[in-house]
Amino acid sequence: MKSEVGLSRHKGVDKSDGNPFGYLDRARFSMGLLKVVLVSGMGFFTDAYDLFNINVLLLFLIPLWHLTSAQQGLLASSAIFSAIAGQLLFGRLLDVLGRKKVYGIEAAVLAAGAAASAFSVNFPMLLATRAVMGLGIGGDYPASSTIASEYSPTETRGRAVALVFSMQGFGIATAVVTGLIAAAFLPPDLAWRLVALVGAIPPALVIYFRRQVPETPRYSLLVKGDVHEARKGLRLVAGSETEVPMVKASRKSASQFFREYWPLLIGTTLPWLLMDMALYGTGVFSGLITSELFPGHSAVESVLRDGVPLLVGVPGYFIAAALIDRVGRKPLQLFGFAMSVALYLPMMFYFLKLLPLSDYLIYAFFGLSFTALNVGPNTTTFIVPAEVYPVRYRSTGHGISAAAGKAGAAITTLLFPIIKATYGASLGLAYIFAILSVAGLLGFAITYFFLPETKKVPLEEASGEELAPVAVREPAVH
């Protein structure tokens, strides 16, 4: 670790390597950390629900509002485009203002946008309200990942952050189930509104709890220089009072940050972009693919047909959480990209009518592609950016990386309906899986050359943090 720290002998400090958070890094997975994971994870439950429920909404809205292919693409991508802005904006605010001051605001924006979308009366209004919702979704990425990472012990940091992210799987499953219930019992114009409105409930409930989470000990000490506040954060997850050394993280200008960390930015942005091209392109528009295999005859059948492949992918989140601190981030990411390509290529040849496979086998391949992505790059691209950037730029780096991912998602959600409409069902889908196969190969190569392994590496070492001793006055406790 790059360190210029001269530490006195404090309880809770690892004297062997000068780690100011040795006490936290050696802690067990506690109830306090579980609280952080659950509060953070509820945001990701909603993020996934509100991004992937558009697949269900479109089943109702296409016939109701007579949407064109271009309108379908715009509606599917509007929240994703605004999420990019949210990731960049909130990512920087979290580093400048602090995690605690910002945490919960993004959930309020998300709840407001989701609720308003349910009462939209036309296409432009729904487009605008989903864009507001996307701004809050974008802010949740750097906020929840950074807070979970900075609170976690070294040995279980990957699992803690992966469990936050795994709530995305429950969000996707809930979108499918809610769509099925709405389709079965409500008329179309009420069914889609119920599906949209449900997405406002979890973020509204979690705002209060997010506002109660203390500032992370790392930001409190290394950026604010507040020893008392750092101890409060440590007490939440480590379970007892502990001394911390008086140190702060060195400042870097924006030019210094980009000059020193550009290889990492390549390693955390481009794989995420390439992965989200596949995950969102096929996830949001699973109906474009599954309807060619099994045409639906009712709304319920269509929701079930389109949703099952997404449900097949849900166990991948928990497999990743179980393996991430054993196998490592990089091997899982390489595996996921390789497996996705191995599944996309036969699908491409099938739609080119060059490979006579069963429709059911292609349907199974499609579902397993989500499992491969969730075991690998969908989870790992979320975890690594929360580990490899210094504390003053951690949320910024994560926000940039996440924004790159959503840029990839926006590209495919906007273009896939147009590609299918332009080239026809079979040839259009063949082109889509050809594009995704190339994306997977590029993701594998960039991961291999640019992504470091951070498994069981202390956060300050993984991020190359430069620490310096400072004279810090503890605030009086009244």
Give tens-digit pLDDT for 441-476.
999 999 999 999 999 999 999 999 998 887 645 555
- 65 belongs to a structural domain: yes
- 86 belongs to a structural domain: yes
* Nearest by Cα to 192 from 128, 117, 131: 117
Lowest mean per-residue pLDDT among 14-18, 37-41, 282-286, 462-466: 14-18
How many structural domains compose the chain? 1
Distance of CA 19 to the CA centre of its chain: 29
Q: What share of the chain is helix, strand, coil (3-state, %, to 5)?
A: 75, 0, 20
Give the model's pLDDT for residue 473. Answer: 53
Q: What is the mean pLDDT of the chain?
A: 91
Strands 467-469 and 247-249: antiparallel
Residue 248: strand pairing partners? 468
DSSP helix/strand/coil, 393:
coil
- 3 belongs to a structural domain: no
Per-residue pLDDT of 341-395, as tens digits, reads 999 999 999 999 999 999 999 999 999 999 999 999 999 999 999 999 999 999 9
- 412 belongs to a structural domain: yes
Structure tokens at 403: 């924004």
Residue 89's domain comprises 22-469
Q: From residue 108, how far is each of 169, 200, 446 by CA, in Å?
A: 22, 9, 36
**Percentage of residues of the chain with pLDDT beyond 70:** 94
**HSE, side-chain direction, 13 A CA sphere, residue 282:** 34
Per-residue pLDDT of 400-429, as tens digits, reads 999 999 999 999 999 999 999 999 999 999
- CA torsion angle for 124, 127, 130, 135 (degrees, to 10)? -110
- 9 belongs to a structural domain: no
Per-residue pLDDT of 163-205, as tens digits, reads 999 999 999 999 999 999 999 999 999 999 999 999 999 999 9
* Nearest by Cα to 468 from 104, 56, 97, 5: 5
Lowest mean per-residue pLDDT among 53-62, 327-336, 431-440: 53-62
DSSP helix/strand/coil, 247:
strand
Structure tokens at 279: 């995950």
Instruction: State residue 248 phi and psi, 5-degree precision.
Output: -140, 155
| pTM for this model (two decimals) | 0.91
CATH code of the domain covering residue 261:
1.20.1250.20
pLDDT grade, residue 241 (50/70/90)? low
DSSP helix/strand/coil, 421:
helix
Residue whose pair of structure tokens reads 């701004």 in the numeric block: 135
- 67 belongs to a structural domain: yes
Instruction: State residue 36 phi and psi, 5-degree precision.
Output: -60, -45
pLDDT grade, residue 281 (50/70/90)? very high
Per-residue pLDDT of 94-112, as tens digits, reads 999 999 999 999 999 999 9
- 1 belongs to a structural domain: no
- 307 belongs to a structural domain: yes
Helix axes 227-238, 31-65, angle to 10 degrees: 80
DSSP sequence for 265-329? HHHHHHHHHHHHHHHHHHHHTHHHHHHHHS--SSHHHHHHHHHHHHHHHTHHHHHHHHHHHHH-H
Q: Rounded distance, CA 204 to CA 133, Å?
A: 12
